[in-house]
Structure 1
Amino acid sequence: MSKTGYERRHSRWYEALLLGWPFQLLVGVLITVGMPSLERWGWGFWDYLPPVRSNTLLACMLAFIGVLWTLRRMHRFPGARVSAFIAPTVSSAYLLVVAVLFFTREEYTRQVLFGSFLMSLGWFYLAFFMGRRYRRMKLAIVPIGRVDELRPTPDIELRSLPQPDLAGVRYDGVVADLHDDELSPEWERFLARCTLHHIPVYHVRQIQESLTGRVRIEHLTENEYGSLLPSLSYQGVKRCIDFIAALLLLPLLAPIMLVTAIFIRLDSPGRALFIQQRMGFRGVPFKVYKFRSMHVEKKGKGFTEGENDPRITRVGRLIRKCRLDELPQIFNVLKGEMSFIGPRPESMELSEWYERDVAFFSYRHVVRPGISGWAQVEQGYAAEVDGMTTKLQYDFYYIKHFSLWLDILIAFKTLKTIVTGFGAR
């Protein structure tokens, strides 16, 4: 413990070594790559590395590094229960390297690759459960201002400080409302001492965003426009990923879409496709394609009125629950009007309504709309203005943290949504 009583949690050399990514990377590679190779080729296998061995070792290492990097990046986002994403992340990484080896016609050893896959699963699950206690952040709260809005989560422990002193307890950081006028000189000196001893001091808004996954939008000036401007480079990369993924998925999804269209036509009169004009990227309207899930002769509001909406057909109820009604939007993705991940596009009627009643609504169009999005996997469906305000806060969080890692997390959560039916409406 520091003589001053101010010491950051996990700051000691052995803690930094065991919990740091270099240790996880080095030991993880030795176990998940070395052990299957040793079992297959014996001691000294590195003395002779023909292409079949070097390709296999390289594929295993790249897959492991990709899994480690992805899980560590996803852990930063609220609601990211890493244990639930270990299996799909490991499986995706190893399937990707196998696909690359297959299409490039490079030789590799299936036994070692499969053994590495199993060892990686065991390694990441073991590391998660053993380190769960130490990964939970412990934050000290300065009890002044808007900090009373904060609520603890399974990943973050909050402890209110009765006085400007850490009382010998090591914390990951200190949270304070730095804009509050009631912050006394004693508390300001305390925060300065924390900073001098490398204990991070967070403004309450930073922690609130990390806890809720939402950006407050009562006053947009609280969030600099630059921080809400998505990366232009990633927008270009994402467009390429969307286009290639849509081309690869189209042959696989075509039979499913054909069968779905046939059942829709047999279930109720009308076309199988529902085409509606919606507000798109940079405020440009476009026509979105969906499978029809309602009776054409029944009229209603511009949005679905719940699971028991009488306009929904029998087949419509099923395809909405399984999200099959969204499949034709793959053509919108190919045309560049939509992305697989992004804020959901709203109808022109709803967009005009929200523009009048919800501040800053149009800013969500700074990125391409998506088939699934952060708001859908966190909140579900929202139609009323109050619900839309919360949804818009999620959309702003997505724009502010626009990245490949957040898209991967949303993709995994979307698969979970499809299985459980949460948010489908």
Structure 2
Amino acid sequence: MLNPPFPFPRRHQAPQLTLAWDLFFFGLVVLLLLVAAGLEFISVPPAAFWLWVIAGVLALVMTQLSAFAEHGSAYLVPLLTWIIAAALLIAVGQAPLILALIPLHLVWLAARTVAQLTLQRRSPPLKLGFLDPPTPELSEALHTQRIQPVMVSSRDPSSLRGLDGLVVRNEPSGQLHHRVLEHAQLMKLSIIPERLLTEDLTGRVSLQAVDQNWVTQAAFQPTYLFWKRGLDVLFTLLAAPVLLPLMALVALVVYFNSGRPILFWQQRVGQDGKPFQLVKFRTMTRDSERAGPAFAKQGDMRITPVGAFLRKFRLDELPQFWNVLRGDMSIIGPRPEQLAFTVEFEESIPMYTSRHWVRPGITGWAQVNQGYTDSAAQITEKLEYDFYYVKHCSAPLDLKIVWKTVLTILTGFGSR
């Protein structure tokens, strides 16, 4: 993730549990697993038990790294442990244990969430000073994140006392503003550009901020992108014993409901603007694109009854793991757009092609926050989420997307 060019106070996020608390919860979960195995609620071979313990230790170590600590959340340790354990168990032929461990991890997640929420509610709200009234969008985000905005007088530097940071809008104007900024620097307060604060709190990059200088391709983390490609292939291969039977079942449902073709192929635009053929289970009528490409809308008559169910729980996207193996896509990334829409966006949105610096994904930051889009306003919002992902592409953000994807699949959020 790109480091912000200012010392940003992170207390607006939930205060994080210490390593001691994480070790305490991990110890309780280990004890709970041993008790469950002793009472024969779950059968855990010794080798599988130690692989799970190793996964937990690795997750604890990884979450202490600065990059992960910035994105710390209640889901991180339990989810990361489960992902690592799943890979290890599949590798040694103990795949059935993966599903059996889910209830244990849900208990772990619930306990850690309660502890973190309690810590958050007991901590004082972050106080940020503003020289200008915050925008309506930022005001709403401040309220959601328990941040208290305090108006600062440019004529009275003493109004900076008791603040955690000072928010400025663009370049300071006038001698009085410069005077306040000088006092803030002497008091070692964080000086935060309002645009970047809005970006951090909303998870979106305003299209007005996307220009030649918003981010450079050289600022990415090529090492992470290299490892991400390897993890995409590894996870797809390890998950194949689960994915293939599930896809076979979905294929049969599609066939008996609406006949052939079972699969739907469509040209999309991938990394570096290269076109590729995306594949998914067909969820619309055979002549769905007779009038040309169009976004799916709420209650779209082209969608079959079974197709609505598949789209609701994202089961129609399963064949795209083939695109992942081919290198056309990643598991996580901005959704690939149709060529016609890409050409239109490139003409109207500056730096739109920077969206193609990363591989498109089966799931992404926009999908877990917004869902499907069917209007110009929603498309604009989706692109703002996509640009945020491009700018902040990192392992912690990808893990957050994985967790929110699980919730999306379980709830059917944002389906069309």
TM-score (norm 2): 0.78
Give 1:18-417 correspondences, 5 Å limit.
24-26=18-20, 28-29=22-23, 32-33=26-27, 60-66=56-62, 72-75=69-72, 82-83=73-74, 85=75, 89-90=77-78, 92-93=80-81, 96-97=84-85, 100=88, 124-125=112-113, 127-133=115-121, 138-144=126-132, 150-151=138-139, 152-163=142-153, 164-165=156-157, 167=159, 170-181=162-173, 184-221=174-211, 223-226=213-216, 229-298=219-288, 299-417=290-408
Contact 1:358–1:389 under 8 Å retained in 2: no
CA RMSD for the aligned pairs?
3.9
Change (3 A) 1:136 1:341: farther
Q: Max radius of gyration: which structure?
A: 1
Distance apart, 1:139 and its partner CA = 3.5
Q: Find the aligned partners of 1:250 and 1:236 in 2 and give their Cα distance.
A: 22
Deviation at 1:67, TM superposition (A): 5.0
| 1:364 maps to amino acid | R
Question: Following the alignment from structure 2 to structure 1, what is the Cα–Cα distance between the partners of residues 124 and 308?
Answer: 40
8 Å contact kept, 1:9–1:170: no
Please tell me whether the aligned partners of residues 67 and 93 of structure 1 are also in contact (alpha carbons under 8 angstroms).
no
- Please state how far the C-alpha of 1:417 moved relative to its aligned partner: 1.1
Residue range with higher mean Cα deviation, 91-100 or 343-352: 91-100
Q: For 1:57 and 1:271, how far apart are their aligned partners in 2?
A: 46
Give 1:128's aligned amino acid. Answer: Q
Does the C-alpha gap of structure 1 residues 323 and 170 become closer, same or farther in structure 2, counting only changes over 3 Å? same
- Aligned counterpart, 2:39: none
Unaligned runs of 5+ in 1: 1-7, 12-18, 41-50, 76-81, 106-112
Consecutive unaligned residues of structure 2, counting only runs of 5 or more, are: 1-7, 35-46, 94-100
> Under a length normalisation based on structure 1, what TM-score does the superposition of the two structures give?
0.77
Distance 1:359 1:314, change over 3 A: same
State the identity %: 31
**Is 2:132–2:151's contact at 8 Å kept on the other side of the alignment?**
no
Q: In 2, distance between residues paired with 1:389 and 1:189? A: 38
Query: Secondary structure in 2 aligned to 1:297?
Result: coil
Residues 227/189 of structure 1: CA separation in 2 closer, same or farther (3 Å cut): farther
Residue by residue, what CA displacement relative to the aligned partner does 1:259-306 show, whole Å, maximum 9, x if unpaired?
211221221243100001111110000000010111113534412441
